[in-house]
Amino acid sequence: MLKEFKEFAMKGNVMDLAIGIIIGGAFGKIVSSFVADVIMPPIGLLLGKMDFNNLFVNLSDKTFSTLAEAKKAGAPTLNYGLFINTIIDFVIVAFVVFLLVKQINRLKKAAPPAPAVATRECPFCFTAIPVKAVRCPHCTSQL
């Protein structure tokens, strides 16, 4: 059983998938940092010094000025600012994946066109016959 598992784990597709997941996780962290630390601060500045990480709806009867205070107190909150950041993360990752797949498809060699079957019509019965034929297989006329 251990031998079978080793063979399965060492197959090319499993290893490629594992590498893809690891790189994807690292790429996701980079994109999250890019959104949170580079994109959202200027957008927040343009929208009146708004911090998207602190946009939340307090569901308790107490008042909190920041999301960190609410979390520290254990208050239930709807964190729509963090959700907006996550949506932007997703859009960026989806766009990069789209560009990557588009480039890979462009770099793939186009399949060669299927060879054209060299045929002609029989002048008597109008059936398609090979160019090299000397007799029609349908009407048996001499060509």
Residues 6+ apart with CB under 8 A from 112: none
Average pLDDT value for residue range 127-139: 87
Q: Is the pLDDT of residue 70 over 70?
A: yes
Digit-coded pLDDT (tens) for 76-85: 999 998 898 8
Per the prediction, the chain carries an average pLDDT of 84
Report the run of H or E that residue 14 belongs to, with start and end: helix 12-34
* Per-residue tokens: 128: 């398609």
Give me Rg for the CA atoms of the chain: 32
Please report the pLDDT score of residue 12 as a whole number. 65
All structural domains of the chain: 2-108 (1.10.1200.120), 115-143 (no CATH)
Predicted pLDDT of residue 13: 73
Strand ranges inside 80-131, DSSP E: 119-121, 128-130
Percent of the chain with pLDDT over 70: 96
Where are the strands (E) in the chain, listed by range? 57-58, 77-78, 119-121, 128-130
Quick one: angle between helices 2-9 and 12-34, nearest 10? Answer: 60
Distance separating alpha carbons of residues 34 and 47, to the nearest angstrom: 19
pLDDT of 59 over the 80 cut: yes
- In this prediction, residue 76 carries a pLDDT of 93
